[in-house]
Chains A and B, each alone.
Chain A
Amino acid sequence: MKHLATIGLLVLLALTACQPQPEDTYRPTPYELPTPLFFPSQNNIPADNPMTEEGVALGDQLFHEANGCAQCHKREYSYEGGPGATLEHLGTTHTMLPLINLAWNTTGLGWQSQIPTLEDMVYAAYTDPLEINMDTAEVVQSLRQSDTYPELFRKAFGTDEITFVRVEKAIAQYVRSLVFANSKFDRYLRGEEQLSQDELNGYRLFITENGADCFHCHGGGSNALFTTHLRYNNGLDAQPEGTFKAPTLRNIALTAPYMHDGRFRTLDEVIDFYSEGVQYSDDISPLMHHVMEGGVHLTPIEKQQLKAFLNTLTDDELH
């Protein structure tokens, strides 16, 4: 009887040994996405791609691979290409949009909102002949041969099997983590810093219909994303090409060239356009209230003040 109990104990031990040990269990750390003051509470995190510390870390590494997204999307330019990223230089049909605060973009990505999700955008960027231009199978093969990536994928997704869908998910998680809300204007909203009189005057121009009338499309006030993420015909041409997404104006001083085709090289040129260069067409957005006068007609001082305010939207975290 005593022998029988011993044998039973040994069998039990053997069976237990076959079970996964606690340290092998896939237990990623949930990533706490911050929600800054006046940001929406609803975000675009899909149910099948929750953010985790491990997923974001993997995405960060993939994003910054030699042949990855960071080739063009540079942190110091709000994850755009910088002043040299013109259409001529890029060879693309459109300029870049900044990759910041996109966790709160629920209306599609790209200048024409043509890409439904950030996961889709990763696929589009990798496979577009004018962008990264890589075969997804080659990307996966290359990562599988790496010494480090299988382990990073295992930590992020509970398996070291690398697929392109997991590449998409990891990079999308990383991009969602790019939250910027610590500009001088944010500190003003939080009561931590005072704007100069010129900056305040510029903000009043930005936020009033009889001023520069920017806010209907670019937010401000209780829309702290500084965009509606909607598309408009803003009167660039008398023969318009369609409607284009209003980009966030956060870090706008860093994201030249401006407009979908990069036609304006400086903020001054942009302000001049909205002041007296708006082109009439039947299809212009009804929110371009001053188109019949060619623009909002700011004085030189008002233009300086508006620019001073726009400069307060540059985030310290980028430096």
Chain B
Amino acid sequence: MKTKLHIVLLWALVLAATACSNPVGSLTLTASHEVDGTPLVTDALRYTNEAGNAYLVNEVQWFLSNLELEDYEGNRVMLTKTWYIDTNLPETQTLRVPEIPAASYRILRFTFGLCDADNLSGAFGNPPESNMFWPDELGGGYHYMKLNGKYRNADSLLAPLAIHLGRGQNADLTAFYDNSFTVELPIELDVYDHRDYSLGLVMNLNQWFRTPHVYDFNTFGSAIMQNQQAQTLLKENGFDTFHINHP
């Protein structure tokens, strides 16, 4: 009889706990890329950065991690540990979170790239993520981003453009630096009933090359994986590269 009572009490506790955290909505996040307000068109030489470099983009492939919402009380809800986004693969551009607790959320927060604790070589066994690997000799883990394209150089030739961000190194490859950074975006998301809510996460490519540093492709050239100065400038430019699109 005593055991039965315990079981009933346990069930009551479970039900009460479930009722308190009852998810009421779902969330669909869509990642997109633009250049100063215009949706990205790949393979077309139609963009100019702040330094005046004409450029085209073939593909943008990148990771964000520790994506979370924060409500007005400071409560945080983890949406996903990692999200790989690839302009060649439409299926990677949408993330659906099936359960979101009811709350008024004011911040969307994520790490651009993978922070050191999560950036482990071999963590992704399969393509496309595995093709983002960052050599152990250069610090290991994965590229945070590959932005591949071409730019018209000082000789008016289309030179390779490879904005490859990841762990940095010193000159003799004996010390490594975490170049990931946290992005916080203000949002107005009131989740209060059983429906699918949506948010758009937009990367404005020209912002990578604008503020606070004007980044000139002719200065840094095509290969920057081993150029911590370039990595630092792009990291410092990266904070305001993203904005939210409320559909």
A interface residues with partner B (beta carbon < 8 Å) = 38-42, 106-107, 204, 207-210, 213, 215, 219-223, 228-230, 280, 282, 284-292
- What number of B residues sit within 8 Å (CB to CB) of A? 31
- Is the CB of B203 closer than 8 A to any CB of chain A? no
B121 touches A221 (CB 8 A): yes
User: Per a CB cutoff under 8 Å, which of A38, A204, A215, A289 touches B162?
Assistant: A289
Q: Which residues does chain B contribute within 8 Å of A39, judged by CB atoms?
A: 125
Q: Which residues does chain B contribute within 8 Å of A290, judged by CB atoms?
A: 222-223
B135 touches A221 (CB 8 A): yes
B126 touches A286 (CB 8 A): no
Pull 13 A–B residue pairs with CB atoms less than 8 Å apart, ordered by A.
A107-B127, A207-B136, A209-B138, A209-B223, A210-B223, A222-B130, A223-B131, A229-B127, A284-B160, A286-B162, A289-B222, A289-B223, A292-B222
Q: Which residues does chain A contribute within 8 Å of B225, judged by CB atoms?
A: 208-210
Given A210-B226, A220-B135, A292-B153, A287 and B160 contact (CB-CB distance below 8 Å): yes
Given A210-B223, A221-B135, A285 and B130 contact (CB-CB distance below 8 Å): no
User: Per a CB cutoff under 8 Å, which of B125, B138, B149 touches A41?
Assistant: B125
Docked CA distance A240–B144 (Å):
31
Docked CA distance A107–B225 (Å):
27
Given A285-B160, A292-B153, A222 and B121 contact (CB-CB distance below 8 Å): yes
B133 touches A291 (CB 8 A): no
Docked CA distance A288–B149 (Å):
11
Chain A: which residue is nearest B159 at the CB level?
A292
Q: Which residues does chain A contribute within 8 Å of B126, judged by CB atoms?
A: 40-42
The 6 closest A-B pairs by CB, nearest first: A289-B223, A207-B135, A289-B222, A286-B160, A286-B148, A209-B225
Docked CA distance A159–B148 (Å):
52
- Is the CB of B212 closer than 8 A to any CB of chain A? no
Docked CA distance A210–B157 (Å):
22
B162 touches A287 (CB 8 A): yes
Q: Which residues does chain A contribute within 8 Å of B148, judged by CB atoms?
A: 286-287
- Is the CB of B122 closer than 8 A to any CB of chain A? yes
Q: Which residues does chain B contribute within 8 Å of A229, judged by CB atoms?
A: 127
The number of residue pairs between A and B whose CB atoms lie closer than 8 Å in the complex comes to 85
Q: A221-B136, A222-B130, A280-B157 are in contact. List 6 more A-B contacts (CB 8 A).
A: A41-B126, A107-B127, A208-B138, A208-B226, A228-B131, A287-B162
Give the secondary structure class of A's interface: loop
A286 touches B149 (CB 8 A): yes
Most buried by B among A209, A286, A290: A286
Scan residues 112-150 of chain B and give those whose CB is less than 8 A from a CB of chain A.
121-122, 125-127, 130-131, 133, 135-138, 140, 148-150
Docked CA distance A107–B58 (Å):
19
Min CB–CB distance B173 → chain A (angstroms): 8
Given A286-B149, A286-B222, A290-B222, A223 and B130 contact (CB-CB distance below 8 Å): yes
Given A38-B122, A286-B160, A286-B162, A209 and B131 contact (CB-CB distance below 8 Å): no
Docked CA distance A210–B158 (Å):
21
Q: Which residues does chain B contribute within 8 Å of A289, judged by CB atoms?
A: 160, 162, 221-223
Most buried by A among B122, B137, B221: B137
Min CB–CB distance A228 → chain B (angstroms): 5
User: Per a CB cutoff under 8 Å, which of A42, A209, A286, A292 touches B226?
Assistant: A209
- Is the CB of B191 closer than 8 A to any CB of chain A? no
Q: Which residues does chain B contribute within 8 Å of A40, judged by CB atoms?
A: 125-127, 130
Most buried by A among B121, B130, B162, B164: B130
Chain B: which residue is nearest A40 at the CB level?
B126
A228 touches B127 (CB 8 A): yes
- Is the CB of B64 closer than 8 A to any CB of chain A? no
- Is the CB of B103 closer than 8 A to any CB of chain A? no
Min CB–CB distance A291 → chain B (angstroms): 6
Q: Which residues does chain A contribute within 8 Å of B122, judged by CB atoms?
A: 38, 222
User: Per a CB cutoff under 8 Å, which of A204, A228, A288, A291 touches B137?
Assistant: A204
- Is the CB of B31 closer than 8 A to any CB of chain A? no
Min CB–CB distance B143 → chain A (angstroms): 9
Scan residues 189-247 of chain B and give those whose CB is less than 8 A from a CB of chain A.
221-223, 225-226
Chain B: which residue is nearest A217 at the CB level?
B131
- Is the CB of B161 closer than 8 A to any CB of chain A? yes
B157 touches A292 (CB 8 A): yes
Docked CA distance A38–B136 (Å):
14
Docked CA distance A223–B140 (Å):
12
A286 touches B135 (CB 8 A): no
Min CB–CB distance B63 → chain A (angstroms): 15
Q: Which residues does chain A contribute within 8 Å of B157, judged by CB atoms?
A: 280, 292
Docked CA distance A222–B125 (Å):
8
B223 touches A282 (CB 8 A): no
Chain B: which residue is nearest A230 at the CB level?
B131
Q: Which residues does chain B contribute within 8 Å of A284, judged by CB atoms?
A: 160
Q: Which residues does chain A contribute within 8 Å of B138, judged by CB atoms?
A: 207-209
Docked CA distance A165–B138 (Å):
48
Docked CA distance A118–B154 (Å):
46
Q: Which residues does chain B contribute within 8 Å of A219, judged by CB atoms?
A: 131, 133
Min CB–CB distance B70 → chain A (angstroms): 33
Q: Which residues does chain B contribute within 8 Å of A288, judged by CB atoms?
A: 160
